[in-house]
């Protein structure tokens, strides 16, 4: 999770919403990402999406069944959908997202019995650090 926070800090410094993600296979980081919607003018340029793309390229496969995705903010429905499609085994996130969270807050796509895959979820890991970075970013934005 510390590596995901480092990616979030980079996004903060780039004036992007500070969300960072990393994907780990075994003991190796195979994907990194951070939000870059503003710089790319791409509404799908979320941290998780970038990390998933990089991990699939790095591992030369789209099925990421042995991977854990660490992200500083609870994923939205788009990102959770991509994680389900990639068959990611485990999700670890920092703070909940009351406006778009799809891993238990607004929706629980990770454990929906109607879907063909489930994702193990652990939440609240380094929650205070992740939340503080977001609060600072939006406080600065409003000033």
Place of tokens 């890991």: 125
Residue 129's SS3 state is helix
The 3-state secondary structure of 36-50, one letter per residue: CHHHHCCCCCCHHHH
Residue 134's SS3 state is helix
Residue in 38, 48, 74, 132 annotated catalytic: 48
- Could you give the CA distance from residue 49 to residue 44 in angstroms, rounded to a whole number? 7
Q: Could you tell me the CA-to-CA distances from 52 to 47, 113, 137, 143 in Å, in that order? A: 9, 23, 25, 34
Active site (annotated) includes residue 48: yes
Active site residues: 48
């Amino acid at each position: 999770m510390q590596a995901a926070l480092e990616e979030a800090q980079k996004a903060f410094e780039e004036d992007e919403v500070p969300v960072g993600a990393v994907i780990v296979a075994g003991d190796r980081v195979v994907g990194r990402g951070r939000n870059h919607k503003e710089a790319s003018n791409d509404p799908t340029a979320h941290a998780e999406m970038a990390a998933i793309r990089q991990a699939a390229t790095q591992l030369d496969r789209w099925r990421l069944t042995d991977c854990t995705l660490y992200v500083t903010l609870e994923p939205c429905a788009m990102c959770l959908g991509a994680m389900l499609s990639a068959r990611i085994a485990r999700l670890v996130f920092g703070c909940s997202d009351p406006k778009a969270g799809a891993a238990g807050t607004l929706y629980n796509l990770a454990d929906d019995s109607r879907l063909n895959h489930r994702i193990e979820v652990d939440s609240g890991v380094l929650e205070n650090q992740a939340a503080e970075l977001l609060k600072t970013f939006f406080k600065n934005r409003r000033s």
